[in-house]
Structure 1
Amino acid sequence: MEVMDYVSIGLKIIVGLSILNVWLLQPKKATKWRGGNATTIKEEFKVYGLSETFCYVIGFLKVSLALMLLASIKFEGLTLIGSLGLATLLLGSIIMHLKVKDELFKSFPAFLFIAMNLVIASLAY
């Protein structure tokens, strides 16, 4: 394996585990990154004017894509679906932060993870 293969694997682990952490381990934890004054993911979706059902749909998609990204360490064919799918959903996160006029720093994690996913996708070729 080459150095860039290790970089790709490292980024996949960071992104995949971080998304799983947010959606499975800390959905009810207040953080400085949540939209508006929300303290949970469900509250954050309410701030954005989105339904609880939509929260579950996005959560399912993010968890599925994060697992796919982790699985792509072994099954390379899953890389583009996982990385570009997550990048697309994270772009939606940034748009929602802008919609509710959050301070720009709240969009930083989504921006960072979009960048990481784009690097992962570019290394897949």
Structure 2
Amino acid sequence: MNYITIALQCIVAISILNVWLVQNKKATQWRGGNATTIIEEFEVYGLPVWMCYVIGTLKVLFALGLIAAIWYPELKEPSAIGLAVLLMGSIAMHIKISDPIKKSFPAFLFLCMCVYIAFSDKIVLS
């Protein structure tokens, strides 16, 4: 059992759940453009509102998968890779609308964590 990986799983999962379930209607410094809610952010990106619900549902499911993976390790890799793909999309949307790089930082940081989580069993440190 790798406690660093488990800690990262918890950090990523709790952060994603916080953004999508608690902070979704609140303005933050990380929102794209001048959006104050997640729905507004998707509109700024030129994406339909239904896509916000699809992406949000997937992110919440993958985040819950990371938590469940503590007890069911077979969920770890698909959940982390799924989140990594969605986080790459987040970064691409910030770039699309020419946001300052600072706004992409959380997505990039969590992307790095997800890649580590997904492949931590394959990483050999000697």
TM-score (norm 1): 0.96
1:60-91 residue CA offsets vs partner (Å, 9 max, x unmatched):
00000000011001100001111000000000
Identity, % of aligned positions: 58
Question: Does residue 103 in structure 1 map to residue 100 in structure 2?
Answer: yes
> Over residues 71-114 of structure 1, what are the superposed CA-to-partner deviations in whole Å (9 max), with x where a residue is unaligned?
00110000111100000000000000000000000000000000
Unaligned runs of 5+ in 1: none
Counterpart residue number, 2:50: 53
Please tell me whether residue 17 in structure 1 is matched to residue 8 in structure 2: no
Q: How many aligned residue pairs are there?
A: 122
Contact 1:93 1:107 in 2 (8 A): yes
Q: Distance in 2 between matches of 1:40 and 1:104?
A: 19
Contact 1:72–1:78 at 8 Å: present in 2 too?
A: yes
Structure 2, unpaired ranges of 5+ = none
CA contact (8 A) 1:69 1:82 kept: yes
CA contact (8 A) 1:12 1:120 kept: yes
Consecutive aligned runs of 4 or more in structure 1 exceeding 4 Å deviation: none
- The answer to whether residue 85 in structure 2 is matched with residue 66 in structure 1 is no
- In the TM superposition, residue 124 of structure 1 has moved relative to its aligned partner by 3.0
- In the other structure, the counterpart of 1:88 is 85
Does residue 113 of structure 2 align to residue 116 of structure 1?
A: yes
Match among 3, 6, 9 for residue 6 of structure 1: 3
| TM norm structure 2 | 0.95
Which residue among 15, 31, 34 is the counterpart of 1:34?
A: 31
State the distance in 1 between where 2:118 and 2:25 align.
Answer: 31
